[in-house]
Amino acid sequence: MTVARALAFASAIGMAASALVWAQSSTARVPLPLPAVVKNLPPDVATRPVQLSKMLIKLNRGEAFGRVKGGLICAIGQPLIWKGGRFQLNTEDFDEVFQDELSKIGFNVISVSGQMFDTGDSTKAEFLVGGTIKSMNVDVCFPNSGFGDLMSAKGSALMEVEWQLYDRLNRKVVDVFTTDTGYRQKKTQSGGIETIVFSAFAENVRALAASGKLQKILTGRPTDLNVAKAPSNVERLNVSLPATGVETVSDAVGATVLVLSGDGHGSAFLISGDGYFLTNYHVVGGAKYVKLRWSDGLESVGEVIKADRGRDVAIIKADGRGRKPIVLRAESIPVGTEVFAIGTPLDKSLQSTVTRGIISAQRVLDGYTFIQSDASVVPGDSGGPLIDKNGRLVAVTVAGVRINDAPQGINFFVPASEALQFLGISPAGN
């Protein structure tokens, strides 16, 4: 650890070097719980890969969260004041600690910290962990600060961390844990305040493991995320899919609607003459009812009948207004075939926008099959149809890759046949 990094960390938590030479004060020692007792996993026990994905500090602006002191008797100091509210930390600073502590216990931990090249490891984790530091009490002394030494310190740090465990395959948070423990460094050592805080974080990781909840969720053979997941035990939904429908891109626009749900919007499209609309789960969220707006401005209320969160698809029932539906393309679609995406990009005023591209590839990501295309899609297009030149349904818009908020021409769509299978809907003739 360098001086520059230590001072950068100090700046992030609201401590300046000048804080070490100010008004005299005394503080009580921070009481700490006993260190967590953790049992290592048996060598023959396999665990599903897990990765630390994000760390946040959520303290109130202007909140005092400890003291920093200086001098040989540690009687000089001032409060540590949090400068900002919600603050995202550099996850790499915590990732190494997270990996070290859990790996020693026997967990399969994926880490990308310090890698010079993209090895693809970040896509191997089945579970992601996010941590929020909700409270912190730091009491640190720099005994040699009077001699210009701002790297040697002793003291303690106590923190409360809320952990969320996210299942990538099923796309949901499966559990929330809270740990509240810390670390005391009795002897003056190099590393400054950063080492003490990270040691307190390590104790919280150990406390997380000691709870036994990680073992319960992560124990088991890793899932091969390169093999597509198939639906199982799906209750059949009785939807009559017609063999004929729209025959042009223009007519398909008339079968596509804007979905208004909560504070956002997305798209959906008619797949049957009796008023069933296909969309994404993340468009409707947990709503039971959503508002649909047609291209001519007419609005109606739709009921969310069924959804699959993992596959990110949902079905809505509403008045079909006698419109022709978009029917499923029967044959597979080759790479290079021209396709069209219909949706409402960014703003509701841009409803019924059509973009054109080609089929770029077939992918398996996080255990699900996707169609990749360069047909432009952005937020608001989700849930809209991807069709061929004859208006036949190929896939459902779900996501696009953006770097620095700029689209990259790499967009992903749920294959239409899979969307129907995960909802328990059989194609026409089946």
pLDDT (tens digit per residue) in 90-109:
677 799 999 999 999 999 99
Confidence of residue 424 (pLDDT cuts 50, 70, 90): very high
Is residue 123 predicted with pLDDT exceeding 60? Answer: no
% of the chain at pLDDT higher than 90: 60
Which pLDDT score, from 0 to 100, does residue 118 have? 41
- The answer to whether 266 and 344 have CB atoms below 8 angstroms apart is yes
Residue type, 198: F
pLDDT (tens digit per residue) in 300-320:
999 999 999 989 999 999 999
Residue type, 251: D
Token pair in block for residue 91:
């996850």
Which residues 6+ apart lie within 8 Å of 402 measured at CB?
Answer: 408
> pTM for this structure?
0.66
Cβ neighbours around 405 below 10 Å, total: 5
Token pair in block for residue 270:
């008619």
**Whether residues 189 and 255 fall in one domain:** no
The CA-atom distances, in angstroms, between 386 and each of 233, 290, 310, 336 are: 28, 22, 20, 14
The radius of gyration computed from the CA coordinates of the chain, to the nearest angstrom, equals 27
**Whether residues 346 and 270 fall in one domain:** yes
**Whether residues 290 and 403 fall in one domain:** yes
**Whether residues 174 and 322 fall in one domain:** no
Token pair in block for residue 35:
């260190």
**Whether residues 275 and 211 fall in one domain:** no
Range of the domain at 28: 3-218
CATH of the domain at 210: 3.40.50
In-domain check, residue 233: no
Residue type, 249: V
CA 116 to chain centre: 23
Q: What does the longest C-alpha to C-alpha distance in the chain come to? A: 86
| Axis crossing angle, helix 91-105 with helix 192-210, rounded to the nearest 10 | 40
Token pair in block for residue 29:
């020692």
- The answer to whether 368 and 399 have CB atoms below 8 angstroms apart is no
**Residues paired with 183 in a beta bridge:** 157
Number of separate domains in the chain: 2
In-domain check, residue 428: no
In-domain check, residue 212: yes
Which secondary structure element, helix H or strand E, spans residue 166, and what is its range? strand 152-167
**Whether residues 132 and 201 fall in one domain:** yes
